[in-house]
Each structure stands twice: as structure tokens, then as C-alpha cells.
Copies of this chain bind each other. A is one copy, B any other.
């Protein structure tokens, strides 16, 4: 028998984790979802609520998130024309992830500053 030392299989966890990372990867997608979730529905408000984001990056990420059915873009036909961004209900399923990341980040800051 070709008995080899085998690595332990962990694909059952790695694969879904990577599926998720493919959707919410990068520096900006979760911050944008958080910002919209908290009530910022206009391009400029979202931009101002996220330090360091440029309009180019914001526009690109908003398109990505729209394609992933996480946010909804609505044109409001007033003067001047406004655009409203809202979370799709599906975006709420990201809440546990956001809280897990927030909690870890808060604790990590304590750990790092305690050093």
C-alpha cells in the first residue's frame, strides 16, 4: 500500500471561508456596508463617513456590492438628481461577521497597546 503521511483535511472549512472572502474582500466593502447600514444613503455622506476613501474607489465598490445584491441603488428624481443607496435584506446576513470582526478588533487593540 502506498501509505503516505497525509495532511489533515480542512477543505470543509476553508472552501466556504474563501467563498465569503471573495465577496467581502478588500479594505472598503465592509466599511461601506456598515456606513449604509447606519443610515448614510447618499454618495457624499458615505464618502465622508469613511476616512480615506476616494470617490473613484467608492464608486467601484458600490457597483461591486450592487452586483452581489447586497445594496440597492435608487435614483431620486428631484433637483438636483439624487441617488439613494440602501442595504438589501441579504446584507443583514453579514451582521454576525461584522460583529465578530468588530469585537476582535476592539480586543486586539487592547492586546497591542498593553504590550
Contact = CB atoms under 8 A, between A and B. Distances in A.
Contact of A21 (B27, B42, B49, B93): B27
A91 to B, nearest CB: 11
Contacts of A11: 49, 51
Interface string A17-44: 1111101010100110011011110101
Interface residues of A, number: 52
Q: How many copies does the complex hold?
A: 2
A101 B49 contact: no
Contacts of A98: 13, 17
B35 A109 contact: no
Nearest to A12: B102
